[in-house]
Structure formats: C-alpha cells, structure tokens
Amino acid sequence: MIKMYDLAGADKNRRFSPYCWRIRMALAHKRLNVECMPWHFTEKDKIKFSGQERVPVLIDGSNTISDSWEIAKYLESAYPDRPSLKLDNGEVLFIKFWSETVLHPELLQMLVLDIHDNLSLEDQSYFRESREKMLGKTLEEVVANRQEQLPRIQKLLTPLRSTLSKQEYLSGETPGFSDYIVFGAFQWARCVSGFSILNADDIVYKWRDKMLNIYEGLALSAVGYRV
C-alpha cells in the first residue's frame, strides 16, 4: 500500500499540514488507499532518506517522492487510468502560488499560536523559535488582533468567492487538484483552531462543506474543530 509521512500534533491523530491535506484528497480522488504515518517537525531524521526535511513524503513501492506538487504529478503519471487531477490545466499552478503566497501567510497570522499549542512539547520549542524569527514577533503578538484581520482575509477571498458563485468547484463542475490546494489551507485552519474564519452564509463556506463531505467525509472526520 502507498505510505505517506503526515505532519501530526501532540495528539498523533491531529494531522494539519495544508500540503499533506492536498495529497490526502488527491489520493482519495484517485481511489488510492494510503497509510498515513504521523511525523513531527523535529523528526527530520525519519525522512532523511527522502533527501529533504519536509512532509508530505510519499512512498509507493520503490518510489519515494517529496513536495506536494511533485507528488500530484507523480500520481497523475503513475495512475493515468484513475480520475484525473486536472493538472494539465496550466492555471492550477497560479492557484497553487496564490494559495501559498497570499492565502497561507494571511491564515498563518491567525493560526500560528493555535498551531503551536497543538504541537508536542519538543516541536513547540522548535516551532516557536523558527516562527518568531520569521515573523519578527512573539506568537502571542502575531495573533493578538486576529479578529481585526478578518475583513482583510474576507477581501482577499474575493476571486475565490466570485468563482464559486459561478461554478461548483474551482476546477469546474467536478473537483480537481486546485480545489484540494485551496481546501488544504482551510482544513489546516480547521484542524488546529476553533477560530472562525468563514461565515456560514459565505459561498466559500458552502464549498468547503462540500469538500469536507466528499470521499465519505474523509476531511470532516479528521481530528479538528467544528468551525
């Protein structure tokens, strides 16, 4: 069976990496089973064989692939007869970079302390040190006024909201990897934080709800918060 190293919290069933969630959803899309092995930030040694220090790392027989984009491409080429992730749509790459450079940083500013609080003790000190250095503030200072940041994130979601008001999924009438990329960010939030980012009357919330429920509620049943 395919195996994947998956970022976990102190509770090893709390799996919250947005990059790992993309792949969990992509595997389900392709009807491929996977054994997800919990991995913690400070367990660099465990994945050293992959030649780098981040998850997801996918192991499929004799193949080891890291980086979520490379994994998605691998799945497309190794399982061409399974439902397509629609990676041939060039615009998916734009969605990827929009998610990673616009949406993720904005969410991180709201979630960073909740992420910390859900980590194992060893990971907590690593995480605090590296993130405080990156953000130039204590984690507590970063999230202090997150309520006031909500209008900014609502505005930033405008292209997503407008798209979903015209069609069922980002990828069109059926979901594709672009949906899993953006959903991964919201699932990241949901798995670590009870802070409510989306309003229930938002079409983005409704789309996220569909994503939570597909594949027999794979994402809905994950350890997380009911937001």
What region does 169 belong to: left with phi over 0, alpha with psi -120 to 50, or beta?
A: beta
Residue 166 lies near a second copy (rule: CB under 8 A)? yes
Between residues 13 and 162, which has the closer beta carbon with respect to a second copy?
Answer: 162
Q: In whole angstroms, how close is the CB of 162 to a second copy at the nearest point? A: 4
Cross-strand partners of 65:
58
For a second copy, which stretch binds (CB under 8 A), given 26-34, 152-160, 197-205, 216-224? 152-160
b/e 71-100 (16+ beta carbons within 10 angstroms → b): bbeebbeebeeeebbbbebeebeebbebbb
Q: In whole angstroms, how close is the CB of 178 to a second copy at the nearest point? A: 5
In the list 68, 124, 178, 193, the residue contacting a second copy (rule: CB under 8 A) is 178
H or E element: which one contains 39?
Answer: strand 34-39
In the list 118, 120, 171, 187, the residue contacting a second copy (rule: CB under 8 A) is 171
List CB contacts of 166: < 8 A, sequence separation 6 or more.
none
In the list 20, 23, 170, 211, the residue contacting a second copy (rule: CB under 8 A) is 170
CA proximity to 177, closest of 19, 14, 53, 1: 19
Question: Which parts of 97-126 interact with a second copy (CB under 8 A)?
Answer: 97-98, 101-102
Q: Which residues form the interface with a second copy (CB under 8 A)? A: 86, 88-95, 97-98, 101-102, 158-160, 162-163, 166-167, 169-173, 176, 178
